[in-house]
């Protein structure tokens, strides 16, 4: 398996006049193609910061960050946006769907931005919504969907751009346990069937139970890295 994500001595340091906070403190790790990995740790341990760095949403203070061999810490902000569009799928804690678009339009939104043809984008959106179990709700707007259904649309949206990996920041945090179970089963299935790489930041024991690799952070440092 090839490395999809590789970090070397990655630091993110926040400074103010009085102190210096090492949110990510020299993290070196390698995520391989097809992994189903959870980054865990207490609040403030640096999970979300690490995920933001890997996702190109934030820039490291020092260190290198390679996505399939490309050092994205050297990309300009504009190049980073384009890189995210074509390489990374995001699933956010609070779904973050565009409220004025239907489920299908939310999914095809990414493909529209990629410049794909409308017909092809519509076809793939329907396929993806079918795959996440929302084939009947393609024309519903987010407000008409439950939290679990919205997060499924977010998963379909994350997959729409055919990304190299998907970053999911606390994806089950706002879901009831049944919806969370369903969502996780679905993501696990996608991971196994499509070899889609998932990297979670989570507190949720259900994700930890399903993850095949668990990286534990404390004070911005990797304190354990267990492959089940």
Partner 1 sequence: MIRLSWRNIWRNHRRTVITIASVFFAVFLSILMMSFSNGSWGRMIENMLRTQTGHIQIHLKGYWDDQVTDNFMEMEEETITRLNGIEHVVNVSPRIETFAMASSDYNMSKGIAVVGIDPVKEDGKSSLSKRIVTGSYLGPADQGVLIGKALSEYLKVSVGDSLALIGQGYHGAGAVGLYPIRGIVSFITPEMDKGLLYMSLPAAQEFISMPDGYSGILIAIDDGKALEETLQKVSEAIDTSVYEVLSWKVTMKDLLKQAESDAAFSKIILVVLYLIVGFGILGTVIMMTTERRREFGMVVALGMRKGRLAGSVALELFFMTCIGLLAGLVVSIPIVLFFYYHPIPIGGELAVAMSAYGMEAVIPMEASPVLFVSQVLIVLLITSLTILYPVRVILKLEVNKALRS
Which residues form the interface with partner 1 (CB under 8 A)? Answer: 52, 55, 57-58, 78, 81-82, 84-86, 90, 92, 96, 98-101, 105, 109-110, 113-114, 157, 161
| Smallest separation, CB 91 to partner 1 (Å) | 11
Strand partners of residue 167: 90, 199
Q: Any residues with CB less than 8 A from the CB of 104 and at least 6 apart, and which? A: 122, 125, 126, 129, 138, 139
Token code pair at residue 157 = 């949206």
Instruction: Name the residue nearer to partner 1 (CB basis): 73 or 96.
Output: 96
- Nearest CA-CA partner of 179 in 146, 204, 137, 210: 146
Between 85 and 186, name the residue whose CB sits nearer to partner 1.
85
- Residue 29 neighbours by CB under 8 Å, 6+ apart: 5, 6, 7, 215, 222, 225
The smaller minimum CB distance to partner 1, of residues 66 and 92, is found at 92
Nearer to partner 1, 47 or 210 (CB): 47
Q: Residue 143 or residue 193: which is nearer to partner 1 going by CB?
A: 143
For the chain, where are the E strands, in sequence order? 3-15, 20-32, 36-40, 62-67, 70-71, 88-91, 165-169, 197-202, 213-218, 221-227
């Amino acid at each position: 398996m090839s490395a999809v994500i590789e970090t070397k001595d990655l630091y993110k340091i926040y400074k103010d006049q009085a102190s210096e906070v090492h949110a990510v403190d020299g993290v070196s790790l390698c995520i391989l193609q097809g992994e189903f990995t959870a980054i865990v740790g207490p609040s403030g341990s640096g999970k979300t910061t690490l995920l933001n760095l890997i996702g190109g949403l934030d820039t490291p203070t020092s260190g290198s960050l390679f996505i399939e061999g490309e050092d994205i810490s050297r990309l300009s902000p504009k190049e980073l946006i384009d890189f995210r569009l074509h390489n990374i799928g995001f699933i956010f804690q609070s779904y973050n769907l565009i409220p004025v678009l239907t489920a299908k339009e939310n999914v095809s939104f990414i493909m529209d931005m990629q410049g794909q043809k409308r017909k092809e984008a519509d076809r793939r959106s329907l396929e993806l919504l079918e795959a996440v179990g929302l084939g009947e709700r393609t024309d519903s707007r987010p407000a008409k969907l439950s939290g679990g259904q919205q997060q499924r649309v977010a998963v379909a949206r994350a997959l729409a751009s055919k990304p190299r990996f998907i970053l999911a920041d606390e994806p089950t945090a706002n879901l009831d346990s049944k919806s969370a179970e369903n969502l996780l089963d679905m993501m696990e299935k996608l991971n196994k069937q499509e070899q889609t790489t998932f990297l979670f930041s989570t507190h949720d024991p259900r994700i930890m139970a399903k993850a095949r690799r668990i990286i534990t952070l404390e004070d911005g440092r990797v304190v354990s890295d267990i492959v089940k």
